[in-house]
Amino acid sequence: MNSLNRMFAFTYRNFIFSFRNFFAFMELLFWPVIGLLSVGLMSNFLGLQENYASFILTGAITAGVLQVTQLDVSYSLLYDIWSKSIKHTFLAPVAHYDYILGSWILGIVRGTMVFVIMAVFSVYAFDFVLPPPMITFMFMLGLYVNALVIGMLVCLLVLLYGQRVEVTAWSLATMLMLICGIYYPVNFLPKIFLKLSEFIPLTYFLEYYRSAYGFAPLFSHSLLKGFVLSFVYVIILFYLINYSFERARRTGMILKLSE
Amino acid sequence: MENFGIITENIHKTFHSGFFIKRHTQALRGISLSVKKGEIFGILGPNGAGKTTFLNILSTQLLQDKGKVFILGKELTSHANNELKNKLNMCSGNPNFPWSLNVQEILKFYAMLYGQSFKQSRETADKYIAMFELEKFRKTRYDELSTGSKQRLSLAKSLINNPEILFLDEPTIGLDPDIASKIRKIILNLHKEREITILITTHYMKEAEELCERIAFIKDGQIKALGTRDELLSLTNSKDLEGFFLELA
């Protein structure tokens, strides 16, 4: 019960931050809609068939949802670092899963809001066709788990290298999206990136969702592979974050981030 | 060991910096001391003496390279002990809290971090807002508070889990004398009412004289003198702690 309260503390704090800060509003609406509009208008201009248009619109929606959800996980540490209050947070009996999962909960709420806004907008503006609800639900679940992995990776890097790597909160997801074939099938990528994409869960979730538009998937059991890979990464990352936190206590990084 | 709130044995800490040219700064060099339960223990020393480093080790924020720390009879291990963390808290001078949150939200947030439910945290926040006369700042965002109010909030936050051990790191630094005096009175009252073990670092000799039952003087990461005010003064024939400080620093 205590741990649930601690998790909720982070959900509560992140909610206030995103409610009171303009940049959080921009993350939620402005950038995702701009991305969607650009891609949607381009597909109209190119006169793409319905399934091809849906293919790339899926990419734009994924980019918006993934970025917003993973940012919330990354913010679990970054809010404290910007406020220089990390010392007080870790003075309390906080476990790593408390702040990561607590922030992820808000990320899921914000990610769902982005999805609903973008999906509705795409359906009306660009005749986007949503796959059946169960497929969409599983895809969204995959996106949230993948966002958790990316956010945890950012937290790990921040604990190891400090505030100078905070830029990864905005750049890491975008880089990974490129490798996962956000607007194109991964077999269009150079061989080395194709190999690399096999290690990223998002590749499988995109494959799974797009198969609903009639595109033959490149990998078998995409959904299963995506979830298994994500689960393995989450376990490894919790272990590494624990290690890097102890290292940060040894090197004084926690205190440096509070100055 | 039962009668002691804090025991440290031979604590060493060295900081390493620089990428190509490594620099090593020895912050603590064998600090051993014990603080009785319910005692107010002061740590004095010039800038860079290692006071804050020592406090950060005791409050689990920093890991020592060598030596042992026992808090309430339990050893602080390399993995932060959450059971112990429930019994500690800290108030530091020039405090920092999440800047988008107001006073009430900050207290609620930290209360929840100590395991309180949302409802309980609201009651706790109300209690400490009243105790520290923060009512008119209840809805004021942290970054809009005055230094004195921030300090009172920091003290309020440090009591939110009813700690058995309280670390005060220069709690009156940068405050006007009247507010500093008020804060000292609050600390003394809290100590009297709750019998908390308090470890305080300060630059102000008056503060040390007013609050501390025993004092350790640290310089260059080592304890140079330890005892009651009178015992310290007898070591140097000084009339007051300021004279003692100037002689040893």
Give the span between the Cα atoms of A110 and B236, in whole angstroms.
Answer: 65
User: Phi, psi at residue B44, to the nearest 5°?
Assistant: -110, 160
Q: Chain A: nearest CA to B245, how far in angstroms?
A: 27
Q: Any chain B CB within 8 A of the CB of A136?
A: no
Q: Any chain B CB within 8 A of the CB of A78?
A: no
Q: Any chain B CB within 8 A of the CB of A1?
A: yes
Which residue in chain B is spatially nearest to A98 when comparing CA positions? B113
Hey, are the CB atoms on A93 and B83 less than 8 Å from each other?
yes
Residues on chain B touching A258 (C-beta within 8 angstroms) = 96
- The per-residue pLDDT for A196 is 94
**Nearest CB to A16; choose among B101, B114, B116:** B101
Residues on chain A touching B97 (C-beta within 8 angstroms) = 83, 85, 88
Hey, are the CB atoms on A92 and B110 less than 8 Å from each other?
yes
Tell me the residues of chain A between 79 and 108 that have a Cβ less than 8 Å away from chain B: 79-80, 82-85, 87-95
Strand B214-219 with B222-227, pairing: antiparallel
Residues on chain B touching A159 (C-beta within 8 angstroms) = none
Report ipTM for this prediction: 0.90
pLDDT tens digits, A217-233: 888 899 999 999 999 99
pLDDT at A30 over 90: no
Give the span between the Cα atoms of B88 and A9, in whole angstroms.
Answer: 19
**Order of strands, edge to edge, in the sheet holding B222-227?**
B88-92, B165-169, B197-201, B40-44, B214-219, B222-227
Residues on chain B touching A21 (C-beta within 8 angstroms) = 100
Lowest mean pLDDT of A7-16, A32-41, A204-213, B228-237, name the range.
Answer: B228-237
pLDDT tens digits, A122-150: 999 888 888 999 999 999 999 999 999 99
Residues on chain A touching B96 (C-beta within 8 angstroms) = 83-85, 87-88, 258
Give the span between the Cα atoms of B93 and B155, in whole angstroms.
Answer: 10
- The per-residue pLDDT for A96 is 92
Give the span between the Cα atoms of B221 and B106, in whole angstroms.
Answer: 34
- The per-residue pLDDT for B177 is 83
Q: Classify residue B102 by its DSSP letter.
A: B
Give the span between the Cα atoms of B170 and B203, in whole angstroms.
Answer: 7
Hey, are the CB atoms on A92 and B15 less than 8 Å from each other?
no
- The per-residue pLDDT for A71 is 94
Interface test with A, best of B86, B113, B145, B166 (most A CBs within 10 A): B113
Give the mean model confidence (pLDDT) for residues A195-223.
Answer: 91
pLDDT at B80 over 60: no
Give the span between the Cα atoms of A10 and A106, in whole angstroms.
Answer: 9
Tell me the residues of chain A between 11 and 30 that have a Cβ less than 8 Å away from chain B: 12-13, 16-17, 20-21
Hey, are the CB atoms on B115 and A84 less than 8 Å from each other?
no
Residues on chain A touching B78 (C-beta within 8 angstroms) = 246
pLDDT at B225 over 60: yes
Hey, are the CB atoms on A92 and B97 less than 8 Å from each other?
no
For residue B78, what pLDDT band results from cuts at 50, 70 and 90? low
Q: Is A181 helix (H, G, I), strand (E, B) or coil?
A: coil
For residue B79, what pLDDT band results from cuts at 50, 70 and 90? low
- The per-residue pLDDT for B114 is 95
Hey, are the CB atoms on B116 and A5 less than 8 Å from each other?
yes
Task: Indicate the burial class of A132 (C-beta count within 10 angstroms; 0-12, 13-18, 19 or more).
Answer: exposed
User: Phi, psi at residue A75, to the nearest 5°?
Assistant: -65, -20
Hey, how many other C-beta atoms are within 10 angstroms of the C-beta on A203?
Answer: 27
Report pTM.
0.91
By a Cβ cutoff of 8 Å, what residues of chain B touch chain A? Answer: 15-16, 56, 59-63, 78-80, 82-83, 85-86, 88-90, 92, 95-101, 105, 108-110, 112-118, 121, 142, 157, 161
**Nearest CB to A85; choose among B56, B96, B114:** B96
Q: What is the 3-state secondary structure (H, E, C) of B131-148?
A: HCCCHHHCCCEHHHCCHH
Lowest mean pLDDT of A98-112, B75-89, B146-160, B164-178, name the range.
Answer: B75-89
Q: Cα A80 from chain centroid?
A: 20
Lowest mean pLDDT of B36-50, B62-76, B146-160, B166-180, name the range.
Answer: B166-180
pLDDT tens digits, A175-197: 999 999 899 999 889 999 999 99
Question: How is B67-92 classified by DSSP, letter by letter?
Answer: EEEEETTEE--SS--HHHHTTEEEEE
Hey, are the CB atoms on A92 and B161 less than 8 Å from each other?
yes
Distances (CA, A) of B137 to A139, B1, B149: 46, 43, 8
Hey, are the CB atoms on A85 and B101 less than 8 Å from each other?
no
Report the mean per-residue pLDDT for chain A.
92
Widest Cα–Cα separation across chain A: 59
For residue B162, what pLDDT band results from cuts at 50, 70 and 90? very high
In chain B, the N- to C-terminal Cα span, in Å, equals: 32
Q: Chain A: nearest CA to B246, how far in angstroms?
A: 29
Hey, how many other C-beta atoms are within 10 angstroms of the C-beta on B2?
Answer: 6
Give the span between the Cα atoms of A56 and A63, in whole angstroms.
Answer: 11
Residues on chain B touching A87 (C-beta within 8 angstroms) = 61, 92, 96
Look-up of token digits 């809609």:
A33
Strand B23-36 with B4-17, pairing: antiparallel
Q: Please name which of B174, B169, B219 lies closest in space to residue B198, comparing C-alpha atoms.
A: B169
For residue B192, what pLDDT band results from cuts at 50, 70 and 90? confident
